[in-house]
Amino acid sequence: MYLTKKTYVKEQMKLAGLLFENPYLMLMMQHFGLNFVVQDKSVEQVCRENDINKDVFTAIANLYNGFQELDSVHFTRTDIPSVISFLKNSHQYYKDEKYPEIKALIDEIARVNSTPEIKLIEQFFDEYFHEVIDHLEYEDEVAFPYFEKLAEEGESKQLADYSARVYRDHHTDIESKIMELKKLLLKHIPLHQDKTLRRRLIISLFELEYDLTIHYAIEEDLLIPLINHFEKTPDRG
């Protein structure tokens, strides 16, 4: 049977069962700073033991499983640090693990496939990689510290030169170029002794794109509205 939809995550469900269904949730666990070997524990139990709001956890897990319920979930100021830490850990994963992995695969392909297009793909990826690093560093160094301060103090007045609005204006999507890379590698550039490497590269790009799409949705639809809300009402969470 061809069934692609994943389970709608609820707090009383066993986490291991969900991980077996959608292994990408392991990555989500890692972004939350959690171990993914959880024996028979339920979502609620794991959240309680690790001091994570189960609503934040299920909302994000549901994003990984294809449901967008962020509008209807009520978050509080105390949730900001766990969301920021999730996003920072994701950044770490992109910078230290995923992009180097992709870069290494492209380099390897360039060694066996000498068609000129592959050289251009290398350039394309390098340029893109720099853009991404800029984007991630801007968030880590400028945007997130401001949000953390806001979460801690509930005060935004002394930082009037920065706001969620500025952040939103800066917030560009960094995944559309992955789509372009996939298109070029899967549809147009002829294979030349790089079939296995090419498949590994394309699958790796799919994985990155999947995580980036969710990352972007968390920033746009969870973080920005949350910050907006506390900028308007700085004194109460």
Q: How many CB atoms lie within 10 A of CB 186?
A: 14
Q: Interface with other proteins includes 113 (CB under 8 A)? A: no
**Shortest distance, position 141 Cβ to other proteins, whole Å:** 26
Q: Interface with other proteins includes 176 (CB under 8 A)? A: yes
Q: Which of 117, 148, 207, 231 binds other proteins (CB under 8 A)?
A: 117
Residue span binding other proteins (CB under 8 A) among the ranges 32-40, 96-104, 164-172, 186-194: 186-194
Q: Which of 42, 58, 62, 113 binds other proteins (CB under 8 A)?
A: 62
> Do the beta carbons of residue 174 and residue 135 sit within 8 Å?
yes
Distance CA 143, CA 164 (A): 8
Q: Interface with other proteins includes 3 (CB under 8 A)? A: yes
Nearer residue to other proteins within complex by CB, 1 or 160: 1
Distance CA 13, CA 76 (A): 24
Tokens (6 digits) for 107: 């380099």
* Secondary structure (3-state) at 42: strand
> CB within 8 A of 199, min separation 6: which ones?
none
**Shortest distance, position 161 Cβ to other proteins, whole Å:** 32
**Shortest distance, position 153 Cβ to other proteins, whole Å:** 34
Give DSSP secondary structure letters for 49-62: HHT--HHHHHHHHH
What pairs with residue 42 in β-bridges? 14
Nearer residue to other proteins within complex by CB, 121 or 143: 121
Q: How many CB atoms lie within 10 A of CB 215?
A: 21
Distance CA 177, CA 17 (A): 34
> Do the beta carbons of residue 147 and residue 166 sit within 8 Å?
no
Q: Interface with other proteins includes 8 (CB under 8 A)? A: yes
Termini Cα distance of the chain: 47
Tokens (6 digits) for 51: 């001091």
Q: Which of 36, 67, 129, 210 binds other proteins (CB under 8 A)?
A: 67
Nearer residue to other proteins within complex by CB, 159 or 224: 224
Residue span binding other proteins (CB under 8 A) among the ranges 32-40, 65-73, 99-107, 222-230: 65-73
Q: Interface with other proteins includes 179 (CB under 8 A)? A: yes
Q: Interface with other proteins includes 69 (CB under 8 A)? A: yes
What pairs with residue 14 in β-bridges? 42
Residue span binding other proteins (CB under 8 A) among the ranges 138-146, 158-166, 174-182, 196-204: 174-182
| Interface residue list for other proteins (CB under 8 A) | 1-5, 8, 62-63, 66-69, 72, 116-117, 120-121, 123-124, 127, 176-177, 179-181, 183-184, 188-190
